[in-house]
Amino acid sequence: MKASNPSEFKQAWPHAPPHQLSKSGIYMVTSGTYAKQHFFNTHEKLKAIQDGLFKYAAQFGWIIEAWAVFSNHYHFVARSPAPNEAETVNLSEFLNRFHANSAKWLNEQDSTHERKVWHNFCETRLTHQTSYLARLNYVHQNPVKHGLTPVANQYPYCSAGKFESNAKPATIKTIYSFKTNRIKVVDEYEPVWFPK
């Protein structure tokens, strides 16, 4: 099922530049704010960026399987549109549209016009199941990695809670068992958190 926002998210979970945008498949994407600034520093802004990510993913036919959104960066794992569809791989266009519109929205909120918000993105095409499952776990657990919460499902702007609500216990146990300490991910950020 294609989800337009996290509240509609229901996924059947399976047991750096240069950009690789010419092939369909499953990708992990990371993008950060310009100079790693904490632009998304309220719950309203974090929710807006999360909702925007799902909105533009749906518009371009991408299915997000795991995500984590923070004050100065985000990660997601997503499946591209099927190879036989007209726009097979449009990741760059999807992210450019998402970044342009989210930056415009944020600058309107902050009354700061023409401010640069995003600083590029990097993606990895996942071609091995072990790599794919490890990165799903990495993204689900990212709030814990950054010290924002002791349990990932307590962080409202990531996929861990939805994953645990929708997947079978055996699937959750399997994905959470994959080691993440040997995968290479651009993640040199120190996000901040604003508990309610």
Domains present along the chain, CATH in parentheses? 23-176 (3.30.70.1290)
* pTM for this prediction: 0.85
Q: What is the pLDDT of residues 136-163, one digit of tens each?
A: 999 999 999 999 999 999 999 999 999 9
Listed in sequence order, the residues at least 6 apart from 19 whose beta carbon sits closer than 8 Å to its beta carbon are 91, 92, 122, 123
Q: What is the pLDDT of residues 155-193, one digit of tens each?
A: 999 999 999 999 999 999 999 999 998 888 888 889 998
Q: Sheet holding 26-33: strands in order across? A: 63-69, 73-79, 26-33, 118-126
Q: What is the pLDDT of residues 73-93, one digit of tens each?
A: 999 999 998 765 544 568 889
Q: How far apart are CA 124 and CA 179, in angstroms?
A: 18
In contact, 40 and 71? CB cutoff 8 Å = yes
